[in-house]
Chain A
Amino acid sequence: MTNGKIESRLWWIVLAGVLPLLTFLPVLVVYAYGSWFQISNRIAVVAIPVSLAIIIWKGWHRGDDIGKARQYFSFGIWTIGVLLAIGGGWLASTQLFLWGGLCCLIAFYLGRSSLPEWPSILGSVGLLGLVLPWPFGSLEAIADNLKLQAAWNVNTCLDGIGIANLLNKRTIELTSSNFTVADRLHGLDGLLTLLFLAGLIGLVRSRSFSHTLLLSIAGIFWLVMGYTFHGLLLVLSTEWYAQSYSYTTNRYIIGGSIFVGQLLFMVITDFVLARMMERVPDEVLQSDMAITSRTLNGILGWPQPVVHYHEDLSILEHESRYQDEEEHEDSVEELEEPIVADWRWRRIYAIAALLGVVLLPLSIMLTFVQLKRERPATPLVIDAATSARILGIGQLPDEIVGMRLVDAKSFTRPEDALSEEAPLRRQWRYESNDRTATVTIEYPVRESAFWDMGLDEQNWESEDIQFSGDELNSTRAVKEAWSWRRESGTSEIGGHVYYWTCALTDDASPVRKRQAKSIFGRMLDRLNKNVYTELLVEPQERSIVAIEVLFETGDGLTRTEEEQTLIWFEKIRDEIRRVLGGGR
């Protein structure tokens, strides 16, 4: 078989395999444009195009034979992928669509690569495992702990440099400003992407299991180091150079650059590990073929690559195995032969190509349908006039549960460097002998403001409150209803604290979900300082209106007092809803 024939057939196989994957590109583009900074999607947005690029690159290179088990496994995954993608398109679920894409990618690679069988299957399952939710939110917990570790690192480094600071959970407080370090890092995205990259390198470069495991650990290490560096950079730039990186663009450029650095370090680590973990050649071992040496060599390279030595061979082995060029060429020819001869696979790729041709226009069409369908539910962007009307809502009563109104303020967005983070808000303050209450309407509040901190460790009560049952009768009403949540407990410095949140359930607003993480940490921080700061707000992204009520009291509220308190909030909510029109 001539080289030209081999290349043309490889081209055909590559195109047939890649075409179905291309069907996912429109969705990816939409995601890349609209949801780059949304936690759950970045992994897909980052990983899949990168993987595609690698696969296409690999497609230029020769492949070799694969076993029966792997053929069926690959075909099974590919089928699941296509079904998921069709289901995702039908249900307008981009998430399903992307999972389908990932399945196809893995199937394509499994069907083509020159890896030994079971390690590849394990690796593919591992990669899939990163996309699927983990039990008990453990992956999220790991990501969160890494961010907290990074915040501690920044705190310790600042102590070392001699800059006065205070680490309050995840906020580094300085004399000049505060930084919610752990919230400004791309926790779960970073972890997933680096683990994904480790897995992908392991598969694509035919690395051993122990190598891939070490690479994953190295990924976590570089992630924390990158976080620490990012946090330090944010703090020092303000403290030393009075240069704020809070501008959205600046922050993303710096975050992105550090992320690229982390990826680069991962690649370097892979190269270093590959050289460190190469088998020790028999020629340099004095005790030839001793079981100890064989075992240790086995640990270094388990599972042993079967047919891929011609690419990743160490120099010594290479020279010892292929004494002359002619012999080397013969061996390559032997390796190439099976894939060219195995035409059974051509049919599968032909079906894949056909489906790809059909799916591509369907995918584009579905994407547009989905975009159109999602438009009313995606970012609730309120124009300036409506915003002003929301914030212009009338005065609250002069007295509530024995407290007098002492202050009412409207905060407009200052035209300074931090303006992008400053919410528009209106605030009422009530006081009595041993109670204070702050009622705030804020707009916009990003969904991420309601994540991050868990209540469990704080021993606080959390209760979802559902008002006005009629709103929950239809699907539409559920989507447009306001969600309520009450959190209460004893603050770390004494006194009872009640915290009510009421927000529009914009899309899958986590406020409604019992298991969703709350804004508690930031709220307590505000409570300690009695000021409202550090809400990360992205005016153009998934904006929602929220009413937040902070209630401090020496003695707990009675049930009646709680109910009375809630009645005001309902009034505010109704007024805002009237301004927004109908359900909104």
Chain B
Amino acid sequence: MNVSYVNWYLVELRRRLHDTMPLDQENSFIFETKNHLESLTSDFIAQGMEPSKAEIAAIERFGSPDTVASQCLIGLRSVRERKIIFAAAVALFGFLVLYCLAWIQTSFVGAELGPAIPIIIALALYALLIGRVPSWRWFALPLACTVMFGAVYAKSQTYVRLSPYRYNGQWQNYGELHSHYAQLKSQQAEAANIEHSAAEEWRKNLRDAKDLGAKDKMSIARITYAVPSAAEPVLHDLRRNGYYQFDQLNMTALVSASNNRATFQYMPVRSSLELQGPLTAHDIRKAIEGRLTEVRQRAKQRDRLLGAYEEGLNKSVLDRFGARLEDRLIMYGAFAIPISLLACFLTSRIRNRVRFKPNKLRLA
């Protein structure tokens, strides 16, 4: 294989210039150097030199690769710095734009990935300007940014608190909405807990009542017979219509009854109802149904409110509160790097495609 000195020189020069200037400039520079050295060699050969000696003489006249590369960088450094500053300015501008968009619609920006987006834009822009994918070290930036903001977001929700959110026709503070939502959720959990404990308590009472001795027979009679005598048809109706299971009948509709007076208690929501006689089955049924309707309406209202809060807070964001921190970081971190790489690859391709590339640039 015949490797000329000129080709060796060009390879060395390219190695020194690599990653210091835009690719099209580098190509242009190498190409011109090649032309220059070949023309110089031809002239020396025409003057009677041997080809190999002519090549060496041409290279000596041109200067060592180190000298030429350093000269080249001195001229280009300021241009490169200007481009980096420009990219940083665009990144800052991009961040501001994204922040403004987050005011209008928070779901537009993935909370963890959002801050990395301007960096990805900056990297892509840099690739567009210099015509090559930046060094791998640069890609640590979006990853670090994603991890850092993800951690801050998960721990303090600072990022969320920065964004007001449009809910119910008015601008609301996102953090406040979330705290209201959490309050309602805890109320709901408390209600469920009360229902559970009340059920347990009344089951116990009934068991105890069956085991009681003669001393408490009067109470038992009142519990077991007095109320059912008036209310049994009603309760039977309710049971038949699917309002209650049998166990709940006793729990719900009974507290005490004597003569023309009956007290009902609906334990799950600590709601009591006192009726005075003379009572007919129709009266009792009407009163209980009225109270039940009221209770149900209140429960529905609470659920509707919760639903509205959930909608207002954007359920996907709420779901993320529940996700494990490391899962989120892996997910978004894994997104950040390929997105950055893809953006840089595409933009550098665009740059190299639109710039003119001279023909016959082949190095050994």
The answer to whether A and B assemble together is no
**Residue positions of A touching B, CB distance < 8 A:** none
**Residue positions of B touching A, CB distance < 8 A:** none
